Chains A and B, each alone.
Chain A
Amino acid sequence: MLLEMKDVSVEFTGMRGSVQVLKNISLNISKGEILGIVGESGSGKSVTALSILRLLGNNAKTSNGEILFNGTDLLKIRTKEIQALRGKKIGMVFQEPMTALHPTMKIGRQLAEVIERHRAVSKKAAFRLAVQALKDVHIHDPELVAAKYPFELSGGMRQRIVIALAMAAPPDLLIADEPTTALDVTIQAEILNLIKELNNKNDTSVLIITHDMGVISQLCQRTLVMYGGEIVESGSTNGVLKNPKHPYTKALLNALPDLADPAQPLQAIPGEIMDLRHRPNGCSFAARCSIAGEYCRTHQPALVEILPQHYTACWKGEKEQND
């Protein structure tokens, strides 16, 4: 197993009191695998990604659990060691390509800076590798682009460069946090293809975070569904999308337009995302769930294997199986 998160919880401390934003998250990724995490904004999926690289702010505290990467607990190692790991073993791509690059440093220099850090090469060689890295993410005229500043490039180009930066080492694991959300639809597909291609070529594992079921179905072998800082369902992408067990997953899928039947009205999920300060005693989705009963509101469901390799945290789902 390349990455194993076990029971990780994260709290943010505000001006007074603290808020639990992740609650007992467990997940694993094997070599070469693409894992997807899907959920609404505020579900804790980005925090999960950031917690792996320990990039959460000072106000965040990872209170328990462990994050094993090749067997080492990332939560236990020293700052120096995690810094050495960032980019070299685990790369990360963020949502907003427009602001993700150093605004006053030329593209080639930015890439070379990162390459020099991860590979024992001379300055000149690093620059050559930088141009090669641009070529690898299918940028035409890489020499020309290397001599440009970020503001001279389009969003899609910039996201390619962000990916090139993250893949510079190349790392064993690439974490992509909403990599296509800020981009035009046509460019989205190109970026997704690029990620898939890099995954194939280098056998890099990918953890992709998105709110877009389309991205999940195109890329991921396995999928996790998050709600309110918890995992509510996980399984093979096929299983989760074709045969969703958790009402939240079903609601998410219902909220998608059906291309086969565009006349059908879209179904929004009623209610608002949970207030993390006031975690209910029972299931966190109960307040918005159409099938929740009294028992759901008072008792917290655990993640159980409802089908082979298909887990869900829902009392109703379990009953279905038991009946």
Chain B
Amino acid sequence: MKKMIMKRLALLVFVVFGVTFVSFFLSHIIPGDPARMMVGQRASEETLKQVRGQLGLDQPVWIQYVTYVKNVISGDLGTSIRTQKPVLDDLTAFFPATLELAMAAFFIALLIGIPLGVLAAVKKDRFWDHFSRLFSISGVSMPVFWSGLIIILLFYGYLGWFPASGRIDLNINPPTRVTGFYLIDSLLSGDIVAFKSSLKHILLPALVLSYAQLAVITRQVRASMLEVLGQDYIRTAMANGIHGWVLLYRYALRNALIPTVTVVGISFGSLLGGAVVTETIFGWPGMGKYVVDSISYLDFPAIMGFTLLISIGYVLINLVVDLTYYFLDPQLRESEVD
């Protein structure tokens, strides 16, 4: 257990260096000039030079890198060229919205994906199996930006049931910030109106975002359920009179979930990626829009800060995956003790 956590943390250090190195490398082979972007085309060479000095761009590349890493370790991700604010402040302002959206989508995907996968495995080669296969394949084939548009057209344009953009109605005050998640914060402060409004706002983007992950989860649950259902102990349990829900959930699913955890972990990572596009469509004030804007502005401190945050998130998710494994598989638990 300790060994595993240490291993993951060591990987974290490696990733931080790797990611900063790669993004740094990238930022210096590209043709654009951030200083020029900042001061505008008409500024004099003088100003340009001055700004370069401010940004440390006049130093040799490796010194720039060392300075950057030093700053990162002390928690300073630099200043955004575009917003002129510390990158860390920007990220903490936008990150909760993205995380809330990703979590909501993740729960929808689990809530539908696991039962659908079980159903497909139990009804193999029959209607629900074919249905789940088509549903999954259409899920991974669906362009998020397009399905988002269609859903807006339908539920906002024609039916008017749900709002098309934002996190909460403009005339409602956002709840007092505790976690940064509107759904949780509004409940904490007992503000039912704000809760309802943010629930209405999150539903469509979360559904759209969850679709592709739902597909992946369904297929994985189906595959591992089929494998587990073919195992000897299931037959023993059946011969002992275990059947129905108990057989499916307490005997089969529990073990089928072990290999699913990895896939689910990876899928949470790609959720964060997909969030970028979904946020653009739904005007969700998260990091997605911030990143897209930063990328087109070649705002490298911002981009590097974001990728760093996401990559650290990846490692942490893997840690959670490992811990879940550990919780689900007693054999692993025992072998760690030795």
Contacts and interface: CB of A to CB of B under 8 A. Distances in A.
A94 B238 CA distance: 12
Nearest to A150: B233
A88 B241 contact: yes
A139 B289 CA distance: 65
B251 A102 contact: yes
Contact of A100 (B236, B250, B331): B236
A85 to B, nearest CB: 8
A179 interface: no
Interface stretch (A60-68, A160-168, A195-203): A160-168
Nearest to B230: A57
A99 B331 contact: no
Contacts of A83: 241, 243-244
B85 interface: no
B240 interface: yes
B238 A117 contact: no
Interface in B199-243: 231-233, 235-243
B236 A94 contact: yes
A225 B146 CA distance: 68
A86 B231 contact: no
B263 to A, nearest CB: 19
Given A55-B235, A94-B232, A104 B329 contact: yes
Q: Top 10 closest A-B pairs, CB basis?
A: A87-B241, A87-B240, A92-B239, A99-B232, A86-B241, A100-B236, A83-B243, A114-B240, A149-B330, A151-B331
B12 interface: no
Contacts of A102: 233, 237, 251, 255
Contacts of B334: 149, 151-152
Interface residues of B, number: 24
Which of B233, B239, B246, B255 has the most CB atoms of chain A within a 10 A radius of its CB? B239
Interface in A124-160: 149, 151-152
Interface of A: 53, 55, 83-88, 91-92, 94, 96, 99-105, 113-114, 117-118, 149, 151-152, 162, 165-166, 168
Contacts of B240: 86-87, 91-92, 114, 117, 165-166, 168
A88 B251 CA distance: 19
A85 B331 CA distance: 33
B246 to A, nearest CB: 7
Nearest to A116: B246
B177 interface: no
Given A87-B241, A113-B242, A118-B241, A101 B254 contact: no
Contact of A103 (B242, B250, B331): B331
A94 B233 CA distance: 10
A59 B90 CA distance: 61
B231 A99 contact: yes
Given A55-B239, A83-B243, A149-B330, A100 B255 contact: no
A303 B258 CA distance: 52
Contacts of A86: 238-241, 243
A78 to B, nearest CB: 12
A92 B232 CA distance: 13
B328 interface: yes
Nearest to B243: A83
A150 to B, nearest CB: 8
Contact of A162 (B236, B254, B331): B236
B246, B258, B330: most-surrounded residue (chain A CB, <10 A) = B330
Nearest to A94: B236
Contacts of B328: 104
B259 to A, nearest CB: 13
Residue among A86, A102, A168 with max Cβ neighbours from chain B (10 Å): A102
Most buried by A among B240, B243, B250: B240
Nearest to A96: B232
Contacts of B244: 83
B241 A84 contact: yes
16 contacts: A55-B235, A55-B238, A86-B241, A92-B236, A94-B235, A101-B233, A103-B233, A104-B329, A104-B330, A105-B250, A117-B240, A151-B331, A165-B236, A165-B240, A166-B240, A168-B240
A121 B233 CA distance: 24
Contacts of A85: 241
A110 B134 CA distance: 37
Interface string B78-104: 000000000000000000000000000
Given A87-B240, A165-B240, A113 B250 contact: yes
Contacts of A92: 236, 239-240
Contact of B255 (A84, A94, A104, A152): A104
Contact of A149 (B235, B241, B242, B331): B331
B333 to A, nearest CB: 9
Contacts of B243: 83, 86
A99 B233 contact: yes
Interface in B299-338: 328-331, 334
Nearest to B235: A55
A100 B241 contact: no
B215 to A, nearest CB: 26
A152 B241 CA distance: 25
Nearest to B255: A104
From B236, B251, B258, B328, residue with most partner A Cβ within 10 Å:
B236
Given A55-B235, A114-B240, A166-B240, 14 more contacts: A87-B239, A87-B241, A91-B239, A92-B236, A96-B232, A99-B232, A100-B233, A104-B331, A105-B250, A105-B251, A114-B241, A117-B240, A117-B241, A168-B240
